[in-house]
Structure 1
Amino acid sequence: MFLHPWWLILLVLVPLVAWRRWSRRDQSTISYSSAAADWDERPTWRQRLAWVPTAMSLAALTLMIVSLARPRYGKEKTIVTSEGIAIEMVVDRSGSMQALDFKIDGQNVDRLTAIKNVASKFVLGNESETDKPSGRASDLVGLVTFAGYADAITPPTLDHAFLIAQLDNTRIVTDSDEDGTAIGDAISLAVDKLASLDNGETKSKQSKVIILLTDGENTAGEIEPQAAAELAKAMKVKIYTIGVGTKGQAPFPVRRTRSGQILVDYVNVTIDEETLTKIADETGGKYFRATDTDSLETIYDEIDQLEKTKIETQSFADYREMAVQTVRIDGTAIPPLLSIAFALITMAMALRRTVFRVFS
């Protein structure tokens, strides 16, 4: 690239000088008789190479003009440093998640399937829709699932493909002995996993966030949700709570016919929105209500905007002035352009005074 490219306009002078130089030399001819037409005198090597000193001078002139434009070679480097966020997704897989009140591509799906679909886009990003969450590439993301008790499925990790695979393998409980909604235990377990990022004397500066998705109220576990929220606050963990499901009645699968058709019945559903709101407020988070797939996507999009990864970009340029500095391009060292120009001028003058000297 050139720092002052307008100097390159002077390059139009080079062909003009060349034309004047050689046209003047061509006019220096001698008339001779037609009787000498058969004179078989071939030009000597000095005559054939008489143009070399002039060509050297023109090349030197070209290089000096280019040097005025200050050609520079190098690369502009950008260093991006990011301070990611540590996120624990806490997902309810209790029996009530079977409710078919969400839709994907026009088809009714259960609540857990809808969560899987939207959470995947939140973590990995949605390339086909630029207005949707762009992914959490720099963030550690973990997974805790719960029903009657809580399970730490995946610790906070950057291997998001593995995390989503584990989420996809999550199933709604079918055993009544495992069923229930242990919200407090799930929050406490997620806080413990986030706190483990502080290893010994090394304190993580990452923001720590829990995204809790549930469709019910706390009915199991040993720790009350409010106590778990106080623990999260003490550990500086922010909790976003999402109440999943329609209000009032929701369609539940009752049985499947021989033809494969699912029969549904409508049952009353209850979400403890008051407790979920208190949990969020206690920790500096926010409570959301997702009644369909679109609202769930909007919630994740809002959380994505609220919890931005800190990214610092530093740009610097490492340029060498080709006019006065040696540069290396693809392993080849190129001397300064002005040095080449002066060398050409010196050689042209030496040739004119010796090999191509004209005696008057």
Structure 2
Amino acid sequence: MTFAWPHAFWLLMLIPLMAWWMWRRRGTASIAFSSVAAVDELPPSLRQRWMWLPKALTLIAFALLVLALARPREGREQTVSQTEGIAIEMVIDRSGSMQALDFNIDGEPVDRLTAVKNVASKFITGGEDLEGRFSDLVGLITFAAYADAETPPTLDHSFVVSRLNQTEIVSRRDEDGTAIGDAIALSVEKLNALDARQERKVQSKILILLTDGENTAGELDPVQAAELAETLGIKIYAIGVGTTGKAPVPVRDPFTGRQRLHYMEVNIDEATLQKVAEITGGKYFRATDTDSLDAIYREIDQLEKTEVETQQYVSYRELAVQSWYWRSFTVPPVVAMAFVVLILRSLLEHLWLKELV
């Protein structure tokens, strides 16, 4: 509870003066008696015992009116946040080469896609050194020989992460390939569609492209797709994932049916990825292990910050004229209590406790 005008409490210093004035000794009686000793020996009646009450109620009413004048208030703080979020498309390669076992999680070797799922999930929802993109629209596109829109940009991040975790490396040869240009073009289309929907104000649109190869499929060249993105104001962060040289890839022996590791050459078209990022004003990164991949997502997280404008309001309940609640009781306004006390005083003074002059 706070008071809008606490200086009003100085008026409470008048209460002792008022009490002295009301209980001061009166003048001499108008009818003279030789002696009142016999009357003094009589026990006081109930009415006589309560003769002080109207005066006390007067002082209580005055104190309540002073309290009302001080304007007691109960404030409730409200926070209103206005967010200009970022729309992010996660574009992830799921071609056959992503099964290379050149990444580690907790000391155990994992394929590239598993490592990407682990770090990208923390980028979206938060974890370790990543705060999460809670105010941002996040979408998911996966690609191999074809690009697939898994989820549109949405605030339902748990659904995005669920779809990401369900993503698998292609197993059919006719689906294998790396359609980087088509994946960029599909991402640009999804991000550009947000303007038509006009669901919320989007501060900027970015595309995080992760691949471990070269553009070997699809109809559109990656550089052409990047030029389209630049025209629409979409920035691309490109990540080339995988070790340099040769990477261990599990293959099944056609004779024994057992899996064995086969070392294959790593071919990442870094020149194209760098150009794609440069055209759109983004940045190119190279991730050769889990730690470097985690560091890349942390850097992107710092580069693309969401602007949140927070305004705080305090709504007050004026307890002098409004009811308020104390524990399980409803307390009437202070002014109402003061008038009730004055009415009670007036009734007592003019009826049961009426003084004869």
Q: Distance in 2 between matches of 1:347 and 1:327?
A: 20
Matches within 5 A, 1:258-273: 263-273=260-270
1:213-262 deviations in Å (ceiling 9; x for gaps) = 11112122211111110011112111111111222332222449xxx996
Partner of 2:190: 193
Q: What is the identity, as a one-letter code, of the residue corresponding to 2:3?
A: L
Q: Distance in 1 between matches of 2:296 and 2:194?
A: 27
- Point out the more displaced range, 236-245 or 48-57: 48-57
1:326-359 deviations in Å (ceiling 9; x for gaps) = 3465996833x24533553564366346533456
Q: Distance in 1 between matches of 2:258 and 2:109?
A: 13
Q: Distance in 2 between matches of 1:15 and 1:109?
A: 82
Partner of 1:236: 233
Q: Secondary structure at the match of 2:176?
A: coil
Q: Secondary structure at the match of 2:139?
A: strand
Q: Distance in 1 between matches of 2:183 and 2:294?
A: 23
Q: Secondary structure at the match of 2:175?
A: coil
- Point out the more displaced range, 135-144 or 343-352: 343-352
CA 1:49–1:188 in structure 2 vs 1: closer, same or farther (change >3 Å)? same
Q: CA deviation at 1:20?
A: 9.7
Partner of 1:308: 305
Q: CA deviation at 1:73?
A: 2.7
1:8-43 deviations in Å (ceiling 9; x for gaps) = 9879989999x999xx99xxxx999xxx9xx9x6x6
Q: What is the identity, as a one-letter code, of the residue corresponding to 2:232?
A: M
When the two chains are superposed, the root-mean-square deviation of aligned CA atoms in Å is 3.8
Matches within 5 A, 1:1-360: 1-3=1-3, 44-47=45-48, 49-50=50-51, 52-67=53-68, 69-126=70-127, 129=128, 132-199=129-196, 205-206=201-202, 207-255=204-252, 263-323=260-320, 325-327=321-323, 334-335=332-333, 337-338=334-335, 340-341=337-338, 344-345=341-342, 347-348=344-345, 351-352=348-349, 355-357=352-354
Q: Secondary structure at the match of 1:171?
A: coil
CA 1:5–1:110 in structure 2 vs 1: closer, same or farther (change >3 Å)? farther
Q: Secondary structure at the match of 1:135?
A: coil
Taking every aligned residue pair, what percent have the same amino acid on both sides? 55
Q: Distance in 2 between matches of 1:292 and 1:48?
A: 93
1:251-279 deviations in Å (ceiling 9; x for gaps) = 222449xxx99643433312222211111
TM-score normalised over the length of structure 1: 0.79
1:183-223 deviations in Å (ceiling 9; x for gaps) = 111101111111222328x6975222111011112122211
Gaps of 5+ in 2: 26-35
CA contact under 8 A between 2:9 and 2:70: conserved in structure 1? no
Q: CA deviation at 1:71?
A: 1.2
Q: What is the identity, as a one-letter code, of the residue corresponding to 1:182?
A: A
CA contact under 8 A between 2:85 and 2:201: conserved in structure 1? no
1:80-126 deviations in Å (ceiling 9; x for gaps) = 22222221111001111111122222221111011111111111222
| Count of residues paired in the alignment | 338
CA 1:273–1:5 in structure 2 vs 1: closer, same or farther (change >3 Å)? farther
Q: Distance in 1 between matches of 2:347 and 2:279?
A: 88
Q: Secondary structure at the match of 2:71?
A: coil
CA 1:51–1:250 in structure 2 vs 1: closer, same or farther (change >3 Å)? farther
Q: CA deviation at 1:159?
A: 2.1
CA 1:47–1:120 in structure 2 vs 1: closer, same or farther (change >3 Å)? farther
